[in-house]
Copies of this chain bind each other. A is one copy, B any other.
Amino acid sequence: MTANAPRTLAGYSLPLSPSGRASMLTPPPWHFSGEVLMVDYRVDPDAAAAFLPDGLDPGADPGAAAAVFAQWQWCSASGAERDHPARNQFGEFLVLLACEFRGRPMARCPFAWVDQPVPMVRGWVQGMPKQFGVVHQSRPALVGVGGPKLAPGGRFTGSLSVFGERVVSASVTVSGLAEHPPPLHTVPLAHTLHFPDWDGGGAPERLVASAVEDVEFSEVWTGPARLEFGAAAREDLGALAPVEVGAGHLFAYGETLLGGTPLVG
């Protein structure tokens, strides 16, 4: 290195380093395989609308919402993370609100929690508001009776705790196979890129859609569901508590997340 050459630090994300390999995040694409417990529900339509930024409309079914628990494994393009279960697994809970962008059905995620730091920061890169929570979720028991069977009568439960308080609890008792995946899990997510302005030079907010490919669903089990927001679901989150609970769904899901596409009104 000579003193006169401009020094460059590399990396997709912080930490930047000489080689770029110290970056906490790998660049997309990111591949995901997950097991999902999802409950359709309805919120007060005005409450839902109040969570939609300019550019998104409530659409054809105002107040349609979903509560989604998932246990994920992920890897980046190299696939290297697949050999590191301490790094490539995480649990997630998120709320989805039905909406439209210029007539195109989409979903808005007002709240999300994950239990690992890498997907949390990766959420912020996308404009997805992932916070940190403790997520638990039943797995299908393949043999034995220690857990629920993925068969009629099997009851699966998800729970979210944040800072030591129970925020959400849900369960689904599967009764049969659905013909289609739940609609709110098939539409693109519309996020708002928003970075706190630290030095007076911050970028403006931008509405973006997540671009995914290689979407894959297993068969979808469905049945009656329970969904409860606890006392710790305060203020804005509390406004999205269920006014009606619909069907629940159990399925596996895979996708590749490619990047973000501006939604220009």
The chain A residues found within 8 Å of chain B, CB to CB, are 1, 6-9, 11-19, 21-22, 24-25, 27, 31-35, 46, 49-54, 71-75, 79, 82-89, 110-112, 116-118, 120-121, 124-132, 134, 136-139, 141-148, 155, 157-159, 161, 163-166, 171, 192-196, 198-203, 206, 208, 214, 216-218, 231-232, 235-237, 239, 252-256, 259-262
Assess whether A145 is in contact with B31, with CB atoms less than 8 Å apart.
yes
Which B residues lie within 8 Å of A237 (CB)? Answer: 22
Residue of chain B at shortest CB distance from A164: B161
* A260 CB to nearest chain B CB (Å): 4
Assess whether B129 is in contact with A14, with CB atoms less than 8 Å apart.
yes
Assess whether B206 is in contact with A203, with CB atoms less than 8 Å apart.
no
The contact sample of 22 A-B pairs, CB cut-off 8 A, is: A7-B52, A7-B54, A15-B110, A17-B51, A24-B129, A31-B145, A33-B142, A33-B144, A35-B142, A74-B146, A82-B155, A84-B163, A121-B124, A125-B195, A125-B196, A125-B198, A126-B198, A134-B164, A143-B252, A200-B262, A201-B262, A202-B203
Q: A15-B129, A121-B120 are in contact. Are A8 and B54 (CB under 8 A)?
A: yes
Which B residues lie within 8 Å of A16 (CB)? Answer: 53, 129, 192, 194
Assess whether A236 is in contact with B51, with CB atoms less than 8 Å apart.
no
Distance in angstroms between the alpha carbons of A72 and B142 in the assembled complex: 11
Q: A22-B237, A31-B144 are in contact. List 20 more A-B contacts (CB 8 A).
A: A1-B50, A7-B49, A7-B50, A7-B52, A9-B192, A14-B124, A15-B112, A15-B129, A32-B144, A33-B142, A73-B141, A88-B147, A117-B131, A121-B121, A143-B253, A144-B254, A161-B165, A164-B164, A193-B198, A202-B203
Residue of chain B at shortest CB distance from A160: B164
Contact check: which of B25, B50, B127, B218 meets A143 at CB < 8 Å? B218
Contact check: which of B15, B110, B157, B202 meets A17 at CB < 8 Å? B110
Contact check: which of B6, B144, B199, B235 meets A255 at CB < 8 Å? B144
Residue of chain B at shortest CB distance from A7: B54
Contact check: which of B89, B125, B171 meets A136 at CB < 8 Å? B89
